[in-house]
Amino acid sequence: MQQYSSLPEQNSQVDTRTKLLTSIEQLRADLWLESTLNKLQSRLNDCLLSSCTTEAEIFQTVVNELNSALQYSEVAIALFQPQETYKICYASESSSFFISNTGKKLQLSFDQAIDIEDLQQLENQHPPSAWRLAEDLQGVASWLIIATQLQESNSESLKAPQVKLTSKLMARAANQCAVALAQLRQIKSLQECSQHLESFNQELQRTNQLKNQFLANTSHEIRTPLSSIIGFTHLLLAQGYDPTRERHQEYLNIIQSSGKHLLALINDILDLSKIEANQLEVQWEIVNVPTLCSNVFALLKEKAANKNLKLHLEVDANITTLVADSLRLKQMLLNLLFNALKFTTTGSVGLKVAVKGEFMYFTVWDTGAGISKEDQTELFQPYFQIANAAIDRDQGTGLGLAVTQKLVEIHGGWLKVESKVNQGSRFTIVLPLTQKHRDAQEGVETFGENVSTEVGGNGGNLNNNSSSKILLVEDDLPNAKLIKTYLEKLGYQVTWVKNAAEMWQAITQLQPAVILMDVYLPDENGLKLVQQLRKNQQYKTIPIVAQTAMAMKGDRETCLAAGVNDYISKPIDLPLLATLVGKYSKVGNG
């Protein structure tokens, strides 16, 4: 020790002067001890205040400060290693030796292995030469070790107080080190929590910005077709509708087109929202690929013919089936093919299907305008539409590619694009041939798309085998008037009621062939009415079709579970409605 390097020799004769000197030496020793520990604590505090401090820096600080304070000793710290042994990890540059109580000579040098039994022996001997530090997160302790080399000239009476003082210093230093390590771990934990909260807040801000942008874009996209619908309806009302005037027919076509565009936008928004929320369910089944592709192309012929474009379908001869959701696969292909038709003014549009290894490749190609590298980076962002003066912007929603990419990923595949300006584009859907860990019988929301269409040759028109009495339960006047007018033109007798009370009054007198039931009524839930009808012996066999604006996940299943025979979502597809009424009016009559 620098300040307590030697003690005055004690005289055999004890007198007042000797006692005074002894007291002074004790005070000097105590001052040295506290000063050394205060200096060590100050250095540890400096380490803790540093934002980049590690446990290694804490250990090295303790070793350096103690080695500086102890003139005739060497201090080291042993840590547990992955090889299930302890090694000296922090020590001074010089080597030092000491003898344990068992007479075993141990070397105190960097990277020197040391057994746990030796550490425990050093801890238990008197005075101790090893002190156990705080355990780490895995419950493994580190050790503070000292090797003392006292001057040979010192007498045994001098060695005893010096060893005792050194032992006291080491014990308190070990405690300070343990406390500093615990504080460091707490600081690191708080820093991690702070970083997590900061990251979470940034994500919330980003999500909020995306939400605001999404709402702004959605508002703009919805208002555009609504403006056309409201505007041209106003013109028709102001001028008085005349079916013989060509201009009025044009107005109606625009209204219908804008309405379909609005419906497509809403469907895309719902699909995208459900995908983002991980709530979109798919129905895994064995899909006949050639048949599905042929059906898809049948939907393209009219649009391609209107633009004088040639269609090419090439399916490898060895391709037969694929495990996928046929409805969603058809949606993906149509999105890409309609885009190809939209951006191609001359030439051809095609689909090539091939198998490579464990994957099937659906490549949609065209000879159209192509896509720049800059636009390709934004291509799959919601609402992004390529600026092209030759293309009517209202032909698309800007969500089709975003939805398609998400649907491909749900199928375990990926979507890639290759394109050059004025040289056409190639979009390739890559899907695995089989879906591992998928249940082919897994439920899926299908709403109105998958309803049965097996009806007679006259479609939904009334025939001799059909009963003409239809009970329409609908509280919304415009929708009720639309359905009533349409079905009456097909020859049905439609009785319209606005609520549950009117329904019970009408059904006793009418005995309808089919009931069209809205779900949300002013005085009762439509599905509860269905359950009540199913429990009534007189009415339980009457076919009921739910016609409702419910179009979210599980809504169709909820309606079917309540007891309806079929389901059609609003806005009502009138030909589909005619098909369902025609089908169930025959069943009810039969």
Quickly state the pLDDT bin for 587 (edges 50, 70, 90): low
Q: How many CA atoms lie within 13 A of 41 on its CB side?
A: 11
3-state secondary structure 236-258: HHHHCCCCCCHHHHHHHHHHHHH
- CB-based contacts of 449, cutoff 8 Å, min separation 6: 327
Q: 430 forms bridges with which residues in the sheet?
A: 361, 414
Residue bearing the bigger pLDDT, 527 or 133: 527
For 74, phi then psi, to 5°, come to -125, 135
Task: Say if CB 415 and CB 440 are below 8 A apart.
Answer: no
- What is the value of pTM for the model shown? 0.48
Q: Taking all residues of the chain, what is their mean pLDDT, rounded to a whole number? A: 80
Which two structure tokens, joined as six digits, stand for 529?
A: 């009415």
How confident is the model at residue 566, as a pLDDT? Answer: 92
- Helices 326-342 & 400-410, crossing angle to 10 degrees? 150
What is the Cα–Cα distance from 424 to 407, expressed in whole angstroms?
A: 24
pLDDT tens, position by position, 218-255: 776 677 677 778 888 888 888 787 877 888 888 888 88
pLDDT one-digit tens code per residue, 369-416: 888 888 888 787 776 766 654 455 445 556 788 889 999 999 999 999
pLDDT in tens, 523-578: 888 999 999 999 999 999 999 999 887 766 677 888 889 999 998 887 788 888 99
68, amino acid identity: S
Backbone dihedral angles phi then psi of residue 141, each to the nearest 5 degrees = -90, 155
**AA letter at 519:** V
* H or E element, residue 418: strand 414-419
Counting DSSP H helices and E strands in the chain, the numbers are 15, 19
**CA distance linking residue 72 with residue 302, whole number of Å:** 99
* Res 442: pLDDT: 42
Residue length, the chain? 590
**414-419 and 425-432: which strand pairing?**
antiparallel
| pLDDT (average), residues 185-191 | 88
Helix/strand/coil for 568: strand
What's the pLDDT tens digit per position in 416-464? Answer: 999 988 889 999 999 998 876 454 444 333 333 333 333 333 445 554 4
CA dihedral (564, 567, 573, 578) positive or negative: negative
| Residue scoring higher pLDDT (500 or 273) | 500
pLDDT at res. 333? 94
